[in-house]
Amino acid sequence: MSTEPTLADDERQLASYAGALHTFVVDAIPGWVRRLTTERANAGGAAVDAADLEWAAAATTDLVAPDLMRILNADVDDGAGSPLAAVRAAVGPMTDLLQRAGAAQPPRDEFVAKAFPNDLFDLGPAAFSDIAAELHEPGLVWGAARAHVHLRRRREQAGDP
């Protein structure tokens, strides 16, 4: 006889997905920074050296990791923010490197320029897959589990099974 998972079971599963997503994102950040910064530098008529890329990768990871952990570990009812927002907020080291290298800024959509005024080189990801293709599924699973826990709490508070 199988029993239905409890809300506590679902919350533990969400925590597991959050931990996995954190690990996957933090592990993917350095490669994403190296790839994207090099692409933007080359497109903007500049070049960046390996040591500067490593600095930007480490600095970005250091910025993302704690904020991402805070967001992923927050209670679903706390409205802690989006995991992708933590990555978007950490483009400073890449921007600094591109500015020091003299890269030209790409043309930016008016909405994007207003929504992300500090992202001068259009670096912020719109989806987990923009960081690395293999982040798509863990990001989707975490988001679905988070929504499930949120909805289940509402149903249980309303007395619906």
pLDDT in tens, 38-77: 999 999 899 999 999 999 999 999 999 999 999 999 999 8
The answer to the question of residue 2 being in a domain is no
Q: Say if residue 161's pLDDT is above 80.
A: no
Average pLDDT over every residue of 15-42: 97
Q: Using CA atoms, how far apart are residues 129 and 146, in angstroms rounded to an integer? A: 19
**Does residue 99 form part of some domain?**
yes
**Mean of the per-residue pLDDT values for the chain?**
94
127 inside domain: yes
| Helix boundaries (H) for the chain | 7-43, 50-73, 83-88, 92-101, 110-115, 128-131, 136-157
- How many domains does the chain divide into? 1
pLDDT of residue 1: 59
Residue 120's domain comprises 7-157
Distant-in-sequence, close-in-space partners of 4: CB < 8 Å, separation ≥ 6: none
Residue 1 inside a domain? The answer is: no
Give domain status of residue 140, yes or no.
yes
